[in-house]
Amino acid sequence: MSPLPPLKIGPVEIGFPVVQAALSGYSDWPMRVLARRYGASYALNEVMLDRFAVEVKGRGKTQHHLRLTNEEHPVGGQLMGADPDAFPPAARRLVECGFDVIDINFGCPVKSAMGGCRGGYHLSQPDVALEIVRRVRDAVPDRIPVSVKMRRGIDDTAESRDRFFRILDGAFAIGVAAVTVHGRTVEQRYVGPSNWEFLREVKEQAGERTVLGSGDLFDAESCLRMIRETGVDGVTVARGAIANPWIFSQARALAAGEPLPPPPTVHEQRETMREHLGLCIETYGPQKGFGAFRKFAIKYTRLHPEYEQVRNDCATVRTLAEWDGYLQRWYSEDAPGQYPLVDETAEASAGSR
């Protein structure tokens, strides 16, 4: 296999073209740092509403939303909102906080976003979407690239397709450095396969301009296959990276022509969970940190050879003391792990926004 060209987003050098997507409720500082340590060359913060990004303080209960550290760079900040006037101050705030790329979310399919005329709703109104892009591009310094996240349309109608390409072409004309496209429609949410053929069409239309693909990337092989089959410049791993940071190092190995690394052993899983929990406690404090970690803990069980029993036991753990006992019961003896089996129905609530 020929080597994968390194990814760039405008002037920002990303490198290996398999990166971590923005994940609402998940891609906080601990998850992003862990992804970077395990091979992701770039990660996006969980999406923030435009007004919240302006109002959030650098201290107290909400300070973690804007937490960045040196080992994260380059790192992207994602914004979502309804009013074009609210985007410029939010974008400037993210730049002041140290984000290297500003990403605009035109892809979120959840009811709260659609009902609030945010996220994927903008795919139905190209004029408003492009005004948002223009406002953000004008608001931030030239050295800060702006990118856009889209789905392939509201639905599968010809009108929806036309609106998609109007936004795509218009955004590039305004000066966005990259566009990420999820192969499902907003109407689909997370049901049915992601349309990779559409990604090929988008890349053919974009030409030399940077396009990233998204959708159905749950293992390292799929990440590389999307790049090679569609021609996109890179891929963003969303649900496939939750409690599975190894996906990035596995993709790097395959891209280098090496065999697929075995799944992490039980002891390797244990040490990574301890690392992840430590990052959560550093961010939120002991009690809230463990609370933030629990939604990841249940997903780490997918890699355990006795998955069902371990998952059921994990669901009962409520305190750090109980967590220590749980690790002793299930992770004290080493054994080969397994690649995580992903239930699309169960995962749908943890979608990339």
* Same domain membership, residue 279 and residue 163: no
Distance of CA 188 to the CA centre of its chain: 19
pLDDT at residue 193 in the model: 82
| Confidence (pLDDT) at 209 | 98
CB 350 within 8 A of CB 23: yes
Show the tokens assigned to 200: 């090929």
Q: What is the pLDDT of residue 164?
A: 96
Residue identified by tokens 């605009």 is 104
- Give the position of tokens 């074009």: 84
Please name which of 1, 2, 16 lies closest in space to residue 235, comparing C-alpha atoms.
16
In-domain check, residue 344: no
Per-residue confidence (pLDDT) for residue 62, from 0 to 100: 63
Residues 271 and 257 in one domain: no
Domain presence at residue 89: yes
Q: Do residues 202 and 323 both lie within one domain? A: no
pLDDT value of position 348: 46
Of 117, 116, 113, 193, which is closest to residue 152 (Cα–Cα)?
Answer: 193
Residues 236/105, Cβ–Cβ less than 8 Å: no
**Residue spans of alpha helices (H) in the chain:** 29-37, 50-55, 87-97, 111-115, 126-139, 158-174, 196-206, 220-230, 246-255, 266-284, 286-300, 307-314, 320-331, 344-347
Together in a domain, 145 and 293 = no
Shared-domain flag, residues 246 and 272: no
Residue 180, exposed/middle/buried by CB under 10 A (0-12, 13-18, 19+)?
A: buried
Residues 92 and 37 in one domain: yes
Please tell me the pTM assigned to this model.
0.93
What total number of domains does the chain contain? 2
Model confidence pLDDT, tens digit, residues 280-291: 999 999 999 999
pLDDT digits (tens, 9 = 90+) for 258-282: 999 999 999 999 999 999 999 999 9
**Same domain assignment for residues 284 and 249:** no
55's tokens: 């109002």
What is the CATH number for 303?
Answer: 1.10.1200
Length of the chain counted residue by residue: 353
Same domain for 20 and 96, yes or no, is yes
Burial class (CB in 10 A: 0-12, 13-18, 19+), 5: exposed
Write down which residue in 261, 286, 320 finishes a domain.
Answer: 261
Average pLDDT of the chain, as a whole number: 93
234 and 153 co-located in one domain? yes
* DSSP conformation letters of 111-152: HHHHHTT-GGGGGG-HHHHHHHHHHHHHHS-TTS-EEEEEES
Evaluate the omega torsion of the peptide bond into residue 74 and state whether it is cis, within 30 degrees of 0.
Answer: yes
Q: Which of 108, 223, 280, 314 is catalytic?
A: 108
Residue at token pair 């996109």: 232
Q: Do both 298 and 223 map to the same domain?
A: no
Q: Which residues lie across from 352 on neighbouring strands?
A: 23
Domain of 55 in residue numbering reads as 7-261
DSSP letter, residue 235: E
Consecutive H or E run containing 315: none
Tokens standing for 217? Answer: 């990337």
In a domain, 26, yes or no: yes
User: Is 108 a residue of the active site?
Assistant: yes
Residue 345 has a pLDDT of 39
| Residues of the chain under the 70 pLDDT cut | 1-2, 57-62, 342-353
Per-residue pLDDT, 198: 96
| Same domain as 69, residue 177 | yes
